[in-house]
Amino acid sequence: MSGSLEQFLTDLSRGLDRTMVAVNKELTLRERIKRTWSMRQCATFLGVSAQYLAKIAGSNADFPAGEYIGRERVFTLTELMHMRALLAATAKRPRDYLAWRKPEDDLPVISFASQKGGTAKSLSAAHFAQYLSLHYGMRVGVMDADPQSTITLYFAGGDGLPTLPDETMPTLVDFAGLFASEDAPYTDHSAEELNSFFQATSWPGLRLIPAHGETSEGEIQIARLVREAPAGKSFYRYLRDAIDRWKSGHVPQTDPGSLAPGGTVDQARLHAALNETLDVIIIDYQPALTLFQLNNVIASTSLVIPQTMKGFDIATLSTFVNGLRGMLQHILSHERIEIGTGANMLLPTIVQRSNGQDLGHISNLLEHCPTEILPVFYLRSDAIANASDVYQSVYEYEPDTPGKRKGINRFISNADAVNDAIVARLWPGLERGYAQAWMDDFYEDDEESVT
Ligand SMILES: Nc1ncnc2c1ncn2[C@@H]1O[C@H](COP(=O)(O)OP(=O)(O)OP(=O)(O)O)[C@@H](O)[C@H]1O
Ligand SMILES: [Mg+2]
């Protein structure tokens, strides 16, 4: 029967659209981030004691009001950012509360990449982005390089990007300038135009270049550009050059200590400062090693490779590592260019604690590549399915039954530890000790279970 696959896809697509209408509607109608955080949780994010924060709350007229749920006073993300501006204003080191880039600091571009599908790239990238916002008040740019648009789903909806992006919304393919312009085979957008491609999200200071079906055009456009070989542009430099152009037009201006003159936060100034630049860019990859992904690698200062720990997966990983190395060596033999000069690391994911083989692979890897492997990793969790089902991270997710709280809290501790370990490598000295505490606990338990 000819055309049967086409018919099948047509019917399935219609059915999926109808199913997604419900999702879209929910994303559009709901406040994206429903949850709030207690005074104690805010103190943890700010890196101060709960007593100290309570003292500030009692003595400062501009301290956010929050809301009372029973006897507990809780705060929104916007209020948490407000607290940061207040604390920074009187701090000896304002960047303790707003870890914002100085004008002379480089802009880290961190890619979560691997060739294999389903290795928790998107989950790791989304949780890292949100962690940096929650714990450091960083201004984070998230770039979705995957037409599946998984990380876009973590951020779409609510006051920022109101709904799932459609074909009219610019993607990373536009940002990289891969489409032909009237007079050139590609487009060098201005810094201002590039900045307009970032969409606001419900996370203050966190902006997103979303993905949709068009993102798969990236590969086609690069193939075209390789064929046309425009003068002055190498096929792997499109994103890198675009980020450089954006960066030179968005140098950090505002001193984080200057947002609350006279002890009152200047809202307009805070809002402008949250959007004037980015302190870090995070890219979530498609599971593939294509020329488009290569553009992302060349634009990155750091690569995080999330990888599951089955025998097959490690074999796939070798293919990816060798393939990527081959591409880089080819490029480096033609051009002297610095690539990935920040910290690069392999992050084991979805590790089954009770599975001796998983743990065996990790200890072998740690033995043979002690500095390349993160000794803190993501453990497999059943709780994550509940949060994933509503397109949320564990930071954002509020369980509907108290029974689910425990599993979510355990995953939050795990995510905090992983993210702290990544922070320690990217910004040495900025870590909070969650990674160390997790390792003390994990490896001690491990020893117990052996004896
Ligand atoms: N620690 C974990 N425990 C249990 N399930 C997990 C864990 N981490 C991720 N998952 C699940 O695994 C699936 C894949 O995760 P994710 O989408 O982050 O992977 P990915 O590498 O980005 O996938 P893709 O290659 O398709 O982009 C998701 O359903 C996610 O909820
Ligand atoms: Mg993904």
Q: 127: part of which helix (H) or strand (E)?
A: helix 121-136
Average pLDDT over residues 134-144: 98
pLDDT given for residue 316 in this prediction: 85
Mean pLDDT, the chain, integer:
92
Question: How many angstroms separate the CA atoms of 365 and 318, rounded?
Answer: 12
| Whether pLDDT at 183 is above 70 | yes
Residue 414: which of 345, 350, 361 has the closest Cα? 350
Domain limits of the chain? 97-450
Q: Are 375 and 439 within 8 A, CB to CB?
A: yes
Confidence of residue 292 (pLDDT cuts 50, 70, 90): very high
CA 367 remoteness from chain centre: 29
| Whether pLDDT at 29 is above 60 | no
Confidence of residue 61 (pLDDT cuts 50, 70, 90): very high
> For 125-129, 347-351, 369-373, which range has the lowest pLDDT when averaged over its residues?
369-373
Ligand in nearest proximity to the CA of 415? 1
Going by C-beta distance under 8 Å and a sequence separation of 6 or more, which residues neighbour residue 328? 297, 339
- Name, of 200-204, 285-289, 420-424, the range with top average pLDDT: 420-424
Confidence of residue 450 (pLDDT cuts 50, 70, 90): very low
Could you report the per-residue pLDDT of 264-276, keeping only the tens digit for each? 999 999 999 999 9
pLDDT given for residue 32 in this prediction: 76
Question: How many angstroms separate the CA atoms of 433 and 425, rounded?
Answer: 13
Atom of ligand 1 nearest to the CA of 380: 3
Q: How far is the CA of 324 from the centre of ligand 2 (A)?
A: 19
Residue 202: which of 282, 274, 258, 269 has the closest Cα? 274
Going by C-beta distance under 8 Å and a sequence separation of 6 or more, which residues neighbour residue 330? none
Q: Write the residue with the smallest CA distance to atom 30 of ligand 1.
A: 120
Q: Name the pTM for this structure.
A: 0.94
Instruction: Please state, as a whole number, how many other Cβ atoms lie within 10 Å of the Cβ of residue 168.
Output: 7
Q: How far is the CA of 122 from the centre of ligand 1 (A)?
A: 7
| Percentage of residues in the chain having pLDDT higher than 70 | 95
Average pLDDT over residues 188-192: 97
Q: Are 185 and 228 within 8 A, CB to CB?
A: yes
Residue 2, Cβ density class (10 Å: 0-12 exposed, 13-18 middle, ≥19 buried): exposed
Residue 79: which of 116, 103, 102, 53 has the closest Cα? 53
| Whether pLDDT at 420 is above 70 | yes
- Ligand 1 interacting residues, C-beta cut-off 6 A: 117-123, 146, 148, 150, 287, 349-350, 378, 380-381, 384, 388
Determine the topology of domain 97-450 in CATH. Answer: Rossmann fold (3.40.50)
Q: How far is the CA of 48 from the centre of ligand 2 (A)?
A: 34
Pairing of strands 345-349, 302-308: parallel
Q: How far is the CA of 119 from the centre of ligand 1 (A)?
A: 6
